[in-house]
Structure 1
Amino acid sequence: MRDRNIIWLYVFLAATIADLTFMISGENFNRFFSKPLILLGLILYFFRISRTISSTILTKSILGALIFSWLGDILLLWPKLFVYGLGSFLIAHICYIIGFRLAQNSDQFRKPDFIKSFFYNLPIYLGASLVFYFINPGLGSLKIPVIAYILVIVGMVATARDRFKKCNPSSFWQVMIGASLFFISDGIIAISKFYHDFAEAGILIMGTYATAQLLIVMGIRSYLIAQK
């Protein structure tokens, strides 16, 4: 993992700042250029640092998650393509679930304790239920796709939490916080689109989303470093 790869993190950072700036100033047209660059920087960064293990399912699943997230970012630039963007992110979360399962020590796999896991994940379930309670009346024909999406993203966050003590602490916390921020970002999207929009929604959505993706990538990077 060479230092020169950090250039792609600068691309990510610059694109994120530019996108937030355009959003604040109301220059929405310019976001067609800035928003796609955000994830593109992370995709190239992760691709570079994982070249030596590029054939593994772990690498392919994380790259898949990033690429489908990138497609989702682009599709969501057009409101009429919302359902397609939702589908792209749903696939991204499935890829993350696979990646999170693989990014833990193989000797830590054991028979799950479903009762204990339920109580550990209860805050996630309650948060998702609360969001659904507010947005349900406004979903209309999108109710089934949104329910499917909620179930998958809850599974993604729960899988991130399940890595506790099954990988190095830095990897766990980065991935866990990143997954939680992703959940919060999507929750804000749901509230603003289907319940009540508010002026700060866009900034909160992109701020938490960009931070989430960065933390997840850095968390997987921490896991790869620990395995060397």
Structure 2
Amino acid sequence: MRLSRFLPLLILLAAIAAIAADGARLTSYFFVLKPLTTFFIIAYAWPRGQALPQESRTRPWVLRGLWFSLGGDVALLWPEQGFIFGLLSFLCAHLCYLWAFTRVQRFAAWPWPFLGYGLLAGGVLSHLWPGVPTPLQGPVIVYVLCLTAMGAQAAVVGWRAQAEPEAVRGRWLALGGLLFVLSDAVLATNKFAGPVPQATLYVLSLYWAGQTCIVAWLSPKGVKTS
């Protein structure tokens, strides 16, 4: 069997090991396993997204988003010193994903997801705002806007896809965008509004599940073009 068939299992095992290493305070193992899990997701994405004509415009941007995410993962291994670089890396990742999604559906072509994500972001941000340092308030607002736009546009693409199997993969994309948003919401709550019990478990499990769902949006190798 080809290695690519084992990659979802490798992603799961690496994610479990990374979260366990952090819980056991095995820092050196965590420093290896955290970026390794995202690297496995990149490897899982690499052969995908080459079957459908429009994917020549979407696949490169999804891959760029994953590489920026890997950079953010490495930066946030140092939560204080690397926070700004991590924020910028993930901001670039969300912009890459947003650009990819708008190659398929016009931006905000369906307004309801944007309304829902806007309300969610507003509620979370209002809860966090008293704890956000003044120098970070501007960057945090920009980041939240890009994050919620990415999640909402993922929902637009997912729920407006009609033909099978694109519709099924679209649902995975919508779920992936939501999980990514929830992961960042937990991370921000833990940082700015007091400690969240088992924060690493929730942040990383939601994050890696979301990234894997986004990758699942890309067509697998061997799918026939219509």
For the aligned pair, the TM-score class normalised by the smaller chain equals 0.7 to 0.9
Given the two structures, how large is their TM-score scaled by the length of structure 2? 0.87
Q: Normalized per residue, which structure has more helix?
A: 1
Does structure 1 residue 145 correspond to structure 2 residue 139? yes
Could you tell me which of 154, 161, 176 is aligned with 2:155? 161
Q: Corresponding residue for 1:170?
A: 168
Does structure 1 residue 91 correspond to structure 2 residue 85? no
1:159 to 1:218, Cα distance in 2 relative to 1, 3 A = same
**For residues 82 and 131 of structure 1, what CA distance do their matches in structure 2 show?**
19
Q: Corresponding residue for 1:218?
A: 216
Given the two structures, how large is their TM-score scaled by the length of structure 1? 0.86
Matches within 5 A, 1:9-20: 9-20=8-19
Answer whether contact 1:5 1:45 (CA < 8 A) is retained. yes
Matches within 5 A, 1:1-228: 3-50=2-49, 56-79=56-79, 80-102=81-103, 104=104, 117=111, 119-140=112-133, 141-163=135-157, 164-166=159-161, 168-221=166-219, 225=223, 227=225
Q: Which runs of 5+ in 1 are unaligned?
A: none
1:34 to 1:78, Cα distance in 2 relative to 1, 3 A = same
Q: Which moved more, 1:121-130 or 1:44-53?
A: 44-53
1:3 to 1:201, Cα distance in 2 relative to 1, 3 A = same
- Which AA in structure 1 matches 2:26? E
Answer whether contact 1:185 1:205 (CA < 8 A) is retained. yes
**For residues 110 and 144 of structure 1, what CA distance do their matches in structure 2 show?**
27
Deviations 1:125-176 (A, max 9, x none): 1110011101111211111111100000111011111112235221121000
Identity of aligned residues (%): 28
Answer whether contact 2:190 2:196 (CA < 8 A) is retained. yes
The structure with higher relative contact order (CA 8 Å, sep 6+) is 2
Q: Which runs of 5+ in 2 are unaligned?
A: none
State the Cα distance separating 1:28 from its structure 2 match: 2.8
Deviations 1:108-137 (A, max 9, x none): x67966xx61x4432211110011101111
**For residues 224 and 177 of structure 2, what CA distance do their matches in structure 1 show?**
20
Answer whether contact 1:192 1:198 (CA < 8 A) is retained. yes
1:99 to 1:223, Cα distance in 2 relative to 1, 3 A = farther
Corresponding pairs, count = 219
